[in-house]
């Protein structure tokens, strides 16, 4: 996590150095004279040795004629040290606390954009499916086994599907219908749950068929909250994206995936085919 923050700090410094040179300030000393700063401060910021404050960003951009970049760079500064949150650190007291932290974000978000190519989105999971996921999490990160409490917190998020004026735009890859978490009976119940949420008025559920022509490579799962925050999960950490320019990239990626998705009866047909697959699997296991 610290390495990621340092790399971002160095990249920011290099960008600010470019602004300075483009504006005709050939040395840090000349720039310092105009801003009233110490030359050493300019050098430390440009070389990633010192964090730039929000005021520093404003002065730098206004002095070099890059005022249009202020909002993006301030977002970078605010998120610098929280760019990556290592899972082992987040889950050291168990998975329930991480689920609890999601609730305030859900309360204030109006429009959700969710893309998951291989797993059912958490807010529409059944308790048994979620239990299987959390057991895997506890095993991988060797975190305290508080599965029951974590599942309860995750299911608490589902209340937001039914209240307020929130809009949920959810895209799943067809593989998510077949990724087996918990066995055939758990999967059949989970897929039945998907059939039920298809009727929710403020939830739009699309499925990207495995054979669909893709407008964009499948990539990784992400959750977008309004146009302000994108959460990306990797095996080792959770990344928060808040820089407006980067958030917009994820918005565009979501729209590209939506071009490949099917809805309504077509989506229902894919889910029914997956239900039949697990029904046949269950019969084979019993035989």
Split at pLDDT 50, 70, 90, the class of 184 is very high
Determine the pLDDT at residue 282: 86
Taking the C-alpha atoms of residue 120 and residue 170, their distance in angstroms, rounded to an integer, is 10
Question: Domain 2-81: what homologous superfamily?
Answer: lambda repressor-like DNA-binding domains (1.10.260.40)
CB-side exposure of 193: number of CA atoms within 13 Å? 20
Does residue 161 carry a pLDDT above 80?
yes
pLDDT digits (tens, 9 = 90+) for 34-44: 999 999 999 99
Give the per-residue pLDDT at 1.
39
CA–CA distance, 10 with 175 (Å, rounded to integer): 39
- CATH 3.30.870.10 residue ranges in the chain? 84-286
Query: SS3 for 158?
Result: helix
Residue 96 has pLDDT above 70, yes or no: no
Q: How many CB atoms lie within 10 A of CB 213?
A: 7
Q: Beta-carbon neighbour count of residue 122 at 10 Å?
A: 18
Residue 257 near residue 215 (C-beta atoms within 8 A): yes
84-286: CATH, from 1.10.150.570, 3.30.950.10, 3.20.20.20, 3.30.870.10? 3.30.870.10
Q: Which tokens hold the place of 183?
A: 């066995």
Please give the average per-residue pLDDT across 203-231, as a whole number.
95
1 versus 131: which is more confidently predicted?
Answer: 131
Residue 83 CB: number of other CB atoms within 10 A?
20
Mean pLDDT of the chain: 89
- Residue 251: count other Cβ atoms within 10 Å of its Cβ: 14
Q: Is the pLDDT of residue 226 over 80?
A: yes
Q: pLDDT band at residue 15, thresholds of 50, 70 and 90?
A: very high
Do the Cβ atoms of 232 and 220 come closer than 8 Å? Answer: yes
As a whole number, mean pLDDT of residues 65-86 equals: 78
Look at residues 135, 117, 93 and name the one whose alpha carbon lies nearest to residue 214: 117
The answer to whether residues 95 and 140 touch, using CB atoms and an 8 Å cutoff, is no
Which residues in the chain are classed under CATH 1.10.260.40?
A: 2-81
- The pLDDT of residue 154: 87
Return the SS3 of 62. helix
Is the per-residue pLDDT at 67 higher than 90? yes
189-to-160, 265, 287 alpha-carbon distances in Å: 21, 19, 21
């Amino acid at each position: 996590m610290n390495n990621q923050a340092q790399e971002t700090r160095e990249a920011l410094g290099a960008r600010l150095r470019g602004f300075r040179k483009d504006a005709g300030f050939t040395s840090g000393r000349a720039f310092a004279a105009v801003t009233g700063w110490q030359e050493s401060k300019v050098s430390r910021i440009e070389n990633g040795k010192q964090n730039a404050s929000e005021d520093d960003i404003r002065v730098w951009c206004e002095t070099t004629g890059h005022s249009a970049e202020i909002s993006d760079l301030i977002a970078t500064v605010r998120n610098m040290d929280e760019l990556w949150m290592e899972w082992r650190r987040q889950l050291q007291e168990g998975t329930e606390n991480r689920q609890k932290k999601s609730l305030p974000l859900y309360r204030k978000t109006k429009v959700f954009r969710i893309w998951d190519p291989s797993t059912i989105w958490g807010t529409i999971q059944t308790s048994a499916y979620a239990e299987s996921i959390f057991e895997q999490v506890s095993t991988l990160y060797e975190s305290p086994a508080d599965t029951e409490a974590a599942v309860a917190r995750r299911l608490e998020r589902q209340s937001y599907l039914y209240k307020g004026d929130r809009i949920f735009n959810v895209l799943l890859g067809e593989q998510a219908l077949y990724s087996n978490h918990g066995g055939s009976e758990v999967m059949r119940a989970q897929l039945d749950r998907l059939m039920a949420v298809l009727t929710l008025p403020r939830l739009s559920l699309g499925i990207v068929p495995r054979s669909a022509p893709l407008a964009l490579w499948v990539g990784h799962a992400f959750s977008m909250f309004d146009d302000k925050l994108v959460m990306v999960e990797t095996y080792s950490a959770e990344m928060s994206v808040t820089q407006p320019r980067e958030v917009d990239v994820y918005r565009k990626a979501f729209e590209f995936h939506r071009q490949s998705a099917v809805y309504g009866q077509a989506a229902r047909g894919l889910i029914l085919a997956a239900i039949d697959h697990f029904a046949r699997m269950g019969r084979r296991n019993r035989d």
